[in-house]
C-alpha cells in the first residue's frame, strides 16, 4: 500500500518515536494568513520597527504560528484517525521563530490507555519542533482520542504519564530589551505590576467562526485530521458535521485577549489545557482571562511573567461566566480552558 491510512490506537507503542514528514519553511505569507484568520494586534509580532526598537533585527512570528505548524506536522502520524484532541501540557516555547526558518517535528509516545468502550484509546505524545540550525523551538505534550481499527484487538497495559501542573523554567529571550517597550505604540499602558492574581479580564469582543475560515486554517497548518475537513466522513460520526480544529479556537481566543492584555504578546509556556466542548462553524467565540500568578523573571528587571487562565465560550458572553455546573462538569458553552504563561514588560 502506497497511501497512508493513519495510525489506529493499536498501532502505537509506548516509547515509539515518530519522525514527521514535511519540513515547513515559515514565510511572510504564513504571517499574513495568520493575521487574516485570527486578527492578532500584538505590536512586537506586527512591526519590524517595533521589534528593532527592542533589539531584534525584525519581528518574530506569533508564537502560535510555530505551535500550529508543529502540530500540523504531527497529525498524519498521531491524530489522522482521531475522534477528538483532548488537551495539552508542559508546552515550552524555547526560541523565537522568524520568517525564513524551517521547522521539523518529532514525537515520542509517552502514554496509552484504552477507553471503556474498547472502540477507542487515548494516546499521549511529546512533540518537539526544531529549526534548521538544530535548535528546539517548541516542545509540548498532547493527548488525543484515537479510533481502534478492530475493537476486539488487545489493548496494551495502560500507562498515563505524570505531567507537571505548570512549566517550571521559563524562557525570557535575552535579545529583547523590554525596558525599551513603547507603550503608546503597543496600545495599552499596563505593565506586569498592574495585574493582580485573581483579577479577571473580560475581553468583550466576539468572533464568529466561518466555515471557509476554519477549513482554510486546517489546510494552512497542513492538518489532515478527517474530523476537520471531510464532511462525508463526519456525517456518519457523533455530531454529523465537521469539528473546528481546537487550535483555531485557541488562535481566536488568544487574539481576543489583546483587549486587556495588549503588552502580553510573547508566550513563554502552555501549562495545560482542554477543549471542553466542540466548536462548529457558525459559533461565536468570546473569551476572558484570569490572572493566576505573577512570576518574577530571575535576573531581569525589565520583564516578568503572568500565568493566565484563558477561557473561551461559544455563543455566550464571558462576563462572570461560570465554567462548570453544580456537578463539576464543564458547561456546554465552554469550549476552551487554557492555562498558559506570557511575558510582559515591567
**Mind listing the pLDDT tens digit for each residue in 88-107?**
999 999 999 999 999 999 99
Rounded CA gap, 79 and 312, in Å?
23
How far apart, in whole angstroms, are the C-alpha atoms of residue 152 and residue 291?
47
pLDDT single digits (tens) 312-330: 999 998 876 778 888 889 9
Per-residue model confidence as pLDDT tens digits over 10-31: 999 999 999 999 999 999 999 9
In the chain, where the domains are located: 9-153+164-345
What pLDDT shows up at residue 326?
85
Q: Is the pLDDT of residue 199 over 80?
A: yes
Which strand (E) or helix (H) includes residue 89?
strand 82-93
Say if CB 84 and CB 278 are below 8 A apart: yes
pLDDT at position 169 over 90: no
Tell me what pLDDT residue 150 has.
94
pLDDT given for residue 146 in this prediction: 95
User: For the purposes of burial, counting CB atoms within 10 Å of the CB of 305, is it exposed (0-12), middle (13-18) or buried (19 or more)?
Assistant: buried
Task: State the Cα–Cα distance between residues 170 and 114, nearest whole angstrom.
Answer: 34
- For residues 271-298, average pLDDT: 94
Return the residue matching grid coordinates 484509546: 121
Q: How long a stretch of residues is the chain?
A: 346
State pLDDT tens for residues 104-129.
999 999 999 999 999 999 999 999 99
Per-residue model confidence (pLDDT) at position 72: 94
pLDDT value of position 83: 86
Q: Which pLDDT does position 53 carry in this prediction?
A: 97
Handedness of CA 228, 234, 238, 240 (dihedral sign): positive
pTM of the model: 0.93
Q: What is the CATH number of domain 9-153+164-345?
A: 3.10.129.10
Are 18 and 79 a contacting pair, CB within 8 Å?
no
By percentage, how much of the chain surpasses pLDDT 70?
Answer: 100
Nearest to 35 by CA among 305, 288, 258: 258
Amino acid at each position: 500500500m502506497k497511501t497512508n491510512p493513519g495510525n489506529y490506537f493499536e498501532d502505537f507503542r509506548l516509547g515509539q518515536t515518530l519522525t514527521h514528514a514535511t519540513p515547513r519553511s515559515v514565510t511572510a505569507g504564513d504571517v499574513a494568513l495568520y493575521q487574516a484568520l485570527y486578527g492578532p494586534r500584538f505590536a512586537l509580532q506586527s512591526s519590524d520597527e517595533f521589534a528593532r526598537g527592542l533589539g531584534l533585527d525584525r519581528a518574530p512570528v506569533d508564537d502560535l504560528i510555530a505551535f500550529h505548524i508543529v502540530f500540523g506536522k504531527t497529525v498524519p502520524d498521531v491524530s489522522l484517525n482521531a475522534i477528538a484532541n483532548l488537551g495539552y501540557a508542559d508546552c515550552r516555547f524555547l526560541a523565537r521563530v522568524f520568517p525564513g526558518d524551517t521547522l521539523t517535528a518529532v514525537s515520542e509516545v509517552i502514554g496509552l490507555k484504552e477507553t471503556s468502550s474498547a472502540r477507542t484509546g487515548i494516546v499521549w505524545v511529546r512533540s518537539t519542533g526544531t529549526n534548521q540550525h538544530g535548535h528546539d523551538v517548541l516542545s509540548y505534550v498532547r493527548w488525543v482520542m484515537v479510533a481502534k481499527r478492530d475493537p476486539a484487538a488487545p489493548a496494551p497495559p495502560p500507562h498515563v504519564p505524570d505531567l507537571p501542573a505548570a512549566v517550571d523554567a521559563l524562557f525570557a529571550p535575552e535579545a529583547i530589551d523590554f525596558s525599551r517597550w513603547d507603550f503608546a505604540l503597543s496600545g495599552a499602558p499596563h505593565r506586569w505590576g498592574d495585574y493582580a492574581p485573581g483579577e479577571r479580564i473580560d475581553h468583550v469582543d466576539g468572533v464568529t467562526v466561518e466555515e471557509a475560515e476554519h477549513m482554510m486554517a486546517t489546510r494552512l497548518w497542513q492538518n489532515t485530521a478527517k474530523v476537520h475537513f471531510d464532511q462525508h466522513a463526519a456525517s456518519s460520526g457523533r455530531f454529523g458535521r465537521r469539528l473546528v480544529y481546537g487550535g483555531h479556537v485557541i488562535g481566536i481566543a488568544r487574539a481576543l485577549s489583546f483587549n486587556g492584555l495588549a503588552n502580553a504578546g510573547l508566550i513563554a509556556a502552555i501549562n495545560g489545557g482542554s477543549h471542553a466542548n466542540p466548536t462548529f462553524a457558525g459559533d461565536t467565540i468570546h473569551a476572558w482571562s484570569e490572572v493566576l500568578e505573577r512570576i518574577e523573571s530571575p535576573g531581569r528587571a525589565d520583564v516578568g511573567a503572568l500565568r493566565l487562565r484563558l477561557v473561551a465560550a461559544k455563543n455566550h458572553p464571558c462576563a462572570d461566566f461560570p465554567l462548570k455546573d453544580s456537578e463539576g462538569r464543564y458547561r456546554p458553552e465552554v469550549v476552551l480552558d487554557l492555562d498558559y504563561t506570557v511575558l510582559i514588560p515591567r
